[in-house]
A and B are shown apart, each in its own frame.
Chain A
């Protein structure tokens, strides 16, 4: 049987990089040989679970072990070892640990932490103060919507909000805290409010000083994946159109991988040929990024169980 160039690239370049880069503690760093981090470990695990669940069973098992050991007593996960405060990577850890049967308790406590973590920029007190500030003219956003920040007690941003929505959407009802439904509703509204004029997203500043912010592929892909159960909404359609048109001009393999995952998820045709990822690799070897290798594995996989839940509506 003939192997496609994409499958061959995954099998000969991306998967070996992931498998050979696992640290002895079970985790992955962002580059081969670097210290284990929660985020890199989550992406490597998603990729291996998706591409080689049986062949990599041992690696996957020790990766899960690393994640469980890294969880903080309050249920959150820190960005790097030694930190004693959790952050946005908690969403990623919960999401991937859903694939592991012994981690339900860890996930439930992580989701509880997420739902208790309210951004500070939209607190009632801040909103009251905002009435007297000129900031709303500079950043015209609706502060009654609330998502998630990169770090606790800061501001809502598009990507961490998308990650939290994805983790909550993929989680079974019995693991969700009572606040989850409300948080999802507010967070989805926030994403739509932060959309750039004409569709698509950047980090979360659609307009600054009256000028539209530049749209970014990664933020757009994550937001669209988080909002994928509203495929008919005009905002989704506009944003998908922008993403689709942007693909030929994408200049980084990470963006390319996420665009591919997103367009596939929405049933759109992929416009590039099979050598695109390999060609990117030839340029800078993905800057040795484990995360990009993992995203590429996920993008080029024929199936996506890690995005299993496609239509859990927020009522």
Chain B
């Protein structure tokens, strides 16, 4: 079973975040990720792992979704680390045809046939989950049994700006576990409950154990769907999604403390402050790539 304890103590230890340079999707990402994951000594031998990429829509140009080569590389790495099974799962938010999205991103080409590997979280069996925080007005959500039952959950977003939330990274990516079969396409009930607060509630209740961010090519401006591709050339990974997202913001030239949901998450779910994050691999400064944001998010720019 996964560690179910809520909210780390305020005297929590520092989180670890690794930044790796990766110039393109053709290089040996599995080797790079495997070597990086080894540093974390993750307890996943014989465990079931679920990789939750960000698959938001039909994406023939490969600019809005987590790139399939990163997902396949992560799968290979976790299997090599001894995981018993590694599933890939997502609940795309805008289009009900999940298989069309998978084919458009060419996930099958990279990860093999998907009938027994991919879990469409939009139509998975669900269980009632009382939310552990009450940041939004939601008291409970019906969430996929696969997500709640897995041993190790990995959020795998793409590095993007977001026209409502400022940025969409590993915490916002967890919106994508909420099943459309219960809440629709899009999951409008979360918007009514408040995006920032819903992000907090979902992450407190279905806590991702690890995050791997595809920042090789991200998206700036009017993300998460209609922004502009932005080459950033990094993979960012770590054992605390809040710290990973904070690091990504700093790489993007944004202030994580000014991102509303991240600031909330930093008080409860993980480490936001630079001094509480052990930065490994490349330094933030060496890979910093300022991302353009919509006018209303100018205050986020550092």
Residues of A within 8 A of B (CB): 29-31, 34-35, 37, 39-40, 79-80, 82-83, 87-88, 120, 149-151, 153-155, 157, 159-160, 202-203, 208-209, 211, 213-214, 216-219, 250-255, 280, 283-289, 291-292
Report yes or no: A292 in contact with B222, Cβ–Cβ below 8 A: no
Which residues of chain A are near B95, meaning CB under 8 Å? 202-203, 216, 218-219
Q: Collect the chain A residues with CB atoms within 8 Å of residue B128's CB.
A: 82-83
Given A79-B181, A283-B108, A287-B114, A250 and B188 touching (CB < 8 A)? no
Closest to B98 in A: A287
Chain A nearest CB from B148 CB (Å) reads 14
Name the CB-closest residue of B to A88: B184
A-B pairs with CB below 8 Å: how many? 133
Judge whether A151 and B97 touch: CB under 8 Å.
no
A114 to chain B, nearest CB (A): 15
| Residues of chain B with a CB closer than 8 A to A150's CB | 183-185, 188-189
Residues of A contacting B185 in the complex (Cβ-Cβ under 8 angstroms): 150, 157, 159, 203
Expressed in whole angstroms, the minimum distance between the Cβ of B32 and any Cβ of chain A is 28
Stretch at the interface among B118-126, B169-177, B235-243: B118-126
Q: Is A149 a contact of B188 with CB atoms below 8 Å?
A: yes
**Which 3 pairs from chain A and chain B are nearest by CB?**
A150-B184, A252-B100, A30-B123
The complex places the Cα of A187 from the Cα of B255 at a distance, in Å, of: 43
Cα separation A153 to B184 with both chains bound (whole Å): 13
Are B189 and A211 touching (Cβ within 8 A)?
no
Q: Answer whether A251 and B94 are a contact pair too, CB < 8 Å, given A160-B184, A209-B163.
A: no
Contact check, A251 vs B103: say whether CB atoms are below 8 A apart. Answer: yes
User: Do B102 and A151 have beta carbons less than 8 Å apart?
Assistant: no
Please name all residues of chain A whose beta carbon is closer than 8 Å to the beta carbon of B98 when the two chains form the complex.
Answer: 252, 287
Min C-beta distance of A181 to chain B, whole Å = 26
**Chain B positions within 8 Å of A280 at CB level:** 99
Residues of the A chain whose Cβ atoms lie less than 8 Å from the Cβ of B189: 150-151, 154
Please tell me the size bucket of the interface on B.
Answer: 35 or more
A287 B120 Cβ-Cβ under 8 A = yes
For B125, give its contact among A35, A88, A202 (CB under 8 Å): A35
- Please give the distance in Å from B192's CB to the nearest CB on chain A: 5
Contact of B142 among A80, A160, A284 (CB under 8 A): A80
Give B59-101 as 1s and 0s: 1 = Cβ < 8 Å from A's Cβ atoms: 0000000000000000000000000000000000011111111
Which residues in chain B, 132-189, are within 8 Å of chain A measured between CB atoms? 142, 163, 181-186, 188-189
Q: Please indicate the chain B residues that have their CB under 8 angstroms from the CB of A79 in the complex.
A: 142, 181-183
Contact partner of B192 (CB less than 8 A), chosen from A154, A159, A292, is: A154
Chain A: minimal CB distance from B70 (Å)? 20
Which B-chain residue is minimally distant from A253 (CB atoms)? B99
20 other A-B residue contacts (CB within 8 Å) besides A39-B181, A159-B185, A254-B97: A37-B181, A79-B183, A83-B182, A120-B192, A155-B188, A157-B184, A159-B96, A159-B184, A202-B94, A203-B95, A203-B185, A211-B226, A214-B57, A219-B95, A251-B100, A252-B103, A254-B96, A287-B114, A289-B99, A289-B123
B231 within 8 Å of A (CB atoms): no
Cβ of B225 within 8 Å of any chain A Cβ, yes or no, is: yes
- By a CB distance below 8 angstroms, the chain B residues around A88 are 184
Are B222 and A211 in contact, CB atoms less than 8 angstroms apart?
yes
Give A280 to B102 CA distance when docked, in angstroms: 13
- In the complex, the answer to whether B97 meets A149 with C-beta atoms within 8 Å is no
- B163 (CB) vs chain A CBs: closest residue: A209
Chain B, Cβ-Cβ closest to A222? B96
Within the assembled complex, what's the spacing in Å between the Cα atoms of A40 and B94?
19
Query: What are 13 A-B contacts defined by CB distance under 8 Å?
Result: A30-B123, A79-B182, A80-B182, A83-B142, A87-B184, A149-B184, A150-B189, A214-B58, A218-B97, A251-B58, A284-B114, A284-B118, A292-B99
Cα–Cα distance between A80 and B181 once the two chains are bound (Å): 8
Shortest distance between the CB of B182 and any CB in chain A (Å): 4
Q: In the complex, which residues of chain B have a beta carbon less than 8 angstroms from the beta carbon of A219?
A: 95
Q: Which residue of A lies closest to B100 (CB)?
A: A252
* Also in contact, A154 and B115, with CB within 8 A (given A209-B163, A289-B123): no
CA A157 – CA B180 in complex, angstroms? 13
Q: How far is the CA of A81 from the CA of B64 in the complex (A)?
A: 34
Give the one of B97, B108, B113 with max A CB within 10 A.
B97
Question: For residue B185, which residue of chain A has the nearest CB?
Answer: A203
Bound complex: CA of A160 vs CA of B186, how far in Å? 11
Q: B289: CB under 8 A from chain A?
A: no
CA distance A163 to B13 in the complex (A): 51
Contact with A251, one of B104, B114, B115, B186 (Cβ below 8 angstroms) = B104
Complex CA–CA separation, A120 to B189 (angstroms): 11
The residue on A at minimum CB distance from B64 is A214
Docked complex Cα distance between A83 and B58 (Å): 31
List of B residues within 8 angstroms of A283 by Cβ: 103, 108, 113
